[in-house]
Amino acid sequence: MMRSIMLTMLMALSISSSIAQIYDPVDWSFSAKRVSESEAKLTFTADIQTGWHLYSQHLDDGGPIPTSFTFKELGGAKLKGEVQEGEGHTEMDKNFGMTVKFFEGKAEFVQMVELTSAKTKLTGELEFMVCNDERCLPPEYKEFEFTVPEASLEKDMAPSDKGHDSQSEIFEPVTWTFSQKDLGNGEFELQFKATIEEHWHVYSMTLPEETMTLPTAFEFDSLKGVQLDGKVVEPEPITKFDSVNEEELSWFENEVTFTQKVRLTESDGYIKGALNFMACDDEKCLAPEWVDFEFKLSGEVAEGSSSIGESSSKDRSWIGIFIAGFLGGFLALLTPCVFPMIPLTVSFFTKQSKDRAKGITNALLYGFFIIFIYVVLGFAVTVTFGADALNALSTNVWFNLFFFVLLVVFAISFLGAFEITLPSSWVNKADQASDRGGIIGIFFMAFTLSLVSFSCTGPIIGTLLVEAAVNGGVMGPIMGMTGFSLALALPFGLFAAFPGWLNSMPKSGGWLNSVKVVLGLLELALALKFLSNADLVVQAGLLKRELFLAIWIGIFGTLALYLFGFIRFPHDSPANNISIPRYMFGLVVLVFTIYLIPGLWGAPLKIISGFPPPNFYSESPNGFGGGGTVSSAVTLSENGEIVGDPEHCPHGLPCFHDYEEGMAYAKEAGLPVMLDFTGWACVNCRKMEEQVWSDPRVLKRLREDFVLISLYVDEKLELPKDEQIEVTIGGKTKKLRTVGNKWSYMQAERYGNNSQPYYVILDHNENQLGPSAAYDPDIELYVNWLDAGKAAFESVN
């Protein structure tokens, strides 16, 4: 129990201090060596980055996770004893406050095995944990596999001859070196050079699909400040009959250099990855081997290489979440749980203090503690879920359904069916602590406010945290709570500094309950978005565009009637007349409700783009009556067939949802490809499609000048079993199970990006033409980007 508590705290500190950084301080390698006819030594080697340490197998309870080894398959061998380890260091670890054994720099673990067969294969996984002086990383698992070299078959060979037995010789016929060439203007060429011994050869990157021989392959695990420009390029290989594999294959002899062009998107760039190759001669082949590579680049950012929208979209998202949080805090001020507290609290500080300056100081301190408490809450959400989970929230069906139910409960509470309250014992204890006086007392006064007002602020906070986590990533909840608490705390400081303003404050009354009702109906409308996300991801067809809009029209129509006084809820006070602000707000809601109605017949409704399902996800994709744009704007191939899948594409565009099919058609049509990485539950994707793609200039270009391939990264359709493979993303091994997983991996592996929308223009050789693009509602910028991509395609074709 103590160990789990310590680890949780250390993980929280680690996440908070490295929100946008991925640490991978340990590289593992494995080797097997036959030490006799019946024994072999398996060696696990850990190369540890400076400043980090790896823990021993043997640790006391209450400390870090020890390194451990689990063998899953023992083919042709038996374990002899336990895994042995080196001396290491035994010192006090300040992370855990106890003496532990650990390794720095390099660590070796050895397992002896008894061989029971000429052919052996041993597999399993190891678990390890690393820390430095500031943080600990979560425990990781690493799979391993050993194949012990076969012994000599010449049993009667003389001792002097055995040293020349080719079967016991270790071959290393290929040496790899890596270099980089500065091409100017922030562009570089990465060079992977293989020097090959005489009589040996290394295989090409392109081999027949049916062959068992592995082609040379490159994986880029980490890309920071750089962007790949196309794919790895190889020179013309030798193609002839391979006597070992008994088929015609392509390979290189003596020397070969593979190249990859990259562009700097920041002044400093870093690339890390590995290549996999296989070498053979005329008699034998060696096992495929992985070789790690690393490049560090620096220079000017390549002209035009900054991705459109990508650098600023996150900033805009955080600013938007901060503003939403601030508005949420302002609304919370107008609820019956908070508003009456303002004059009472300010009066307390100004009257209880010895002078006005002290009263203002205490009120400001009170406001600071309100901000502190709510920001800590936002931080706690970040720590609890972590970066990966927060990124997955927007497309996870169960999370979206949970949020839908949660917001519906909050809405019903605001409408007056019941109140959400915290245990009274919490409030009583916090209130007692506030009587201590001094800074501690002020802190508990702020804490008491957060507890007693929870029935009003809880639903607002819950809604805000959900939206912030889904749309703002790791920093979203923190930014949202900063805005919320700032709005909540500001009046206390201002009214303490200018107490005369209290006389101009409106008096508490039934209007405070009206604020809660309005918030409840708005939360009900927002909840529908999460139900729509879940429906879109699984393509259930239960909440199509028309039904979504019909429910919204009902909700906002009810809100308009309520504001005009035609409807009353349980806790509403009788109203003989309607105030001017309430009437004006009701008028705005009524106009918005009327604005929604044409959407039932196919109107685009750009003001709310991204909220309802897209136009093509509706009962009548062509618009009510069948006279819409999709059927009249289809693109036909030379043989008269409809190109792509216009019924399931924005604006009836002839888009493809399969990469290979789209590339094949692009070659046939002689057009460049616009690759669109998108998602069913991606709000910004819908905004781009409905606000930018709908522009006649953009629509014309997408329809006539490009082949559009839209790949949905949250598509839940399962891949065929033979395509469900394990891949490495960001240094971690994951299994591709769905079509969406496949496209998500493709985006991360090729372009070093995993956010949507993400647009790339390609030629027929799958080389990237110019910079990529992301969310940016600037239509002119998008048109120029498309034109530049088209011009680049025409210059090389």
The answer to whether 481 touches 377, Cβ cutoff 8 Å, is: yes
Is the pLDDT at 15 greater than 50, yes or no?
no
> Tell me, what amino acid is at 699?
L
Is the pLDDT at 36 greater than 90, yes or no?
no
Residue 373: pLDDT band by 50, 70, 90 thresholds? confident
- pLDDT of 190 reads 94
pLDDT: which is higher, 682 or 595? 595
- Read off the pLDDT of each residue in 236-256 and give the average, rounded to a whole number: 89
C-alpha 556, offset from chain centre: 34
Is the pLDDT at 585 greater than 60, yes or no?
yes
CA distance 668 to 334: 63
CA distance 693 to 777: 10
Mode of pairing for the β-strands spanning 130-131 and 53-55: antiparallel
- pLDDT of 6 reads 46
Beta bridge partners of 247: 242
CA distance 513 to 124: 62
Residue-wise pLDDT for 696-711, tens only, equals 999 999 989 999 999 9
The answer to whether 596 touches 552, Cβ cutoff 8 Å, is: yes
Q: What percent of the chain has pLDDT over 70?
A: 72
The answer to whether 562 touches 516, Cβ cutoff 8 Å, is: no
What's the start-to-end Cα distance of the chain, in Å? 65
Lowest mean pLDDT among 84-98, 435-449, 770-784: 435-449
685 HSE (CA, 13 A, CB side): 25
Q: What percent of the chain has pLDDT over 90?
A: 17
Q: What is the DSSP string of 106-158?
A: EEEEEEEEEE-SSS-EEEEEEEE-EE-SS-BPPPEEEEEEE-PPPPPS-TT--
Range with top average pLDDT, 240-244, 614-618, 785-789: 785-789
pLDDT: which is higher, 24 or 157? 24
- pLDDT of 625 reads 52
The answer to whether 496 touches 364, Cβ cutoff 8 Å, is: yes
- pLDDT of 158 reads 35
- pLDDT of 255 reads 94
Token pair in block for residue 316: 């805009």
| Tally of CB atoms within 10 A around 74 | 15
Token pair in block for residue 590: 């009524």
- Read off the pLDDT of each residue in 684-707 and give the average, rounded to a whole number: 88
Token pair in block for residue 93: 């670890």
Residue 554: pLDDT band by 50, 70, 90 thresholds? very high
pLDDT: which is higher, 328 or 582? 582
Residue-wise pLDDT for 723-760, tens only, equals 888 876 655 667 788 888 888 888 877 877 767 788 99
- Angle value at C-alpha 795, between 794 and 796, nearest 5 degrees: 90
**What values do phi and psi take at 263, rounded to 5?**
-125, 140
- Cβ contacts of 57 within 8 Å, gap of 6 or more: 66, 67, 68, 69, 83, 85, 109
- pLDDT of 154 reads 35
The answer to whether 760 touches 772, Cβ cutoff 8 Å, is: yes
- pLDDT of 355 reads 63
Closest CA to 612 of 559, 557, 535: 535
Helix axes 438-452, 341-352, angle to 10 degrees: 170
CA distance 361 to 437: 14
Alpha-carbon torsion 117, 120, 123, 129, what sign? positive
Lowest mean pLDDT among 361-375, 379-393, 397-411, 507-521: 379-393
pLDDT: which is higher, 709 or 184? 709
Closest CA to 516 of 336, 743, 703: 336
Alpha-carbon torsion 266, 267, 268, 272, what sign? positive
- pLDDT of 560 reads 92
Q: What is the pTM of this model?
A: 0.50
Closest CA to 229 of 160, 147, 302, 168: 302
Residue-wise pLDDT for 250-289, tens only, equals 999 999 999 998 888 777 888 888 899 999 988 888 888 8
Is the pLDDT at 579 greater than 50, yes or no?
yes
CA distance 668 to 644: 13
pLDDT: which is higher, 246 or 590? 590
Taking phi over 0 as left and psi of -120 to 50 as alpha, with beta for the rest, 230 belongs to left
Residue-wise pLDDT for 440-475, tens only, equals 766 776 676 666 555 556 556 665 565 555 555 556
Lowest mean pLDDT among 103-107, 204-208, 327-331: 327-331
Is the pLDDT at 7 greater than 60, yes or no?
no
84 HSE (CA, 13 A, CB side): 12
Is the pLDDT at 99 greater than 80, yes or no?
yes
- pLDDT of 337 reads 57
Residue-wise pLDDT for 474-489, tens only, equals 566 777 778 887 877 7
- pLDDT of 706 reads 93
Residue-wise pLDDT for 625-682, tens only, equals 544 444 445 454 555 455 556 667 888 888 898 999 999 998 988 999 999 998 877 7
- Read off the pLDDT of each residue in 486-510 and give the average, rounded to a whole number: 66
- pLDDT of 466 reads 57
Burial degree of 75 (CB within 10 A; 0-12, 13-18, 19+): middle
Q: Where are the alpha helices (DSSP H) in 603-738?
A: 629-632, 659-669, 683-687, 696-704
pLDDT: which is higher, 591 or 220? 591
- pLDDT of 157 reads 33
The answer to whether 272 touches 222, Cβ cutoff 8 Å, is: yes
CA distance 137 to 723: 32
Token pair in block for residue 778: 């600037």
C-alpha 669, offset from chain centre: 35
The answer to whether 523 touches 552, Cβ cutoff 8 Å, is: no
Is the pLDDT at 417 greater than 60, yes or no?
yes
| Mean per-residue pLDDT over the chain, rounded | 76
Lowest mean pLDDT among 133-147, 195-209, 395-409: 395-409
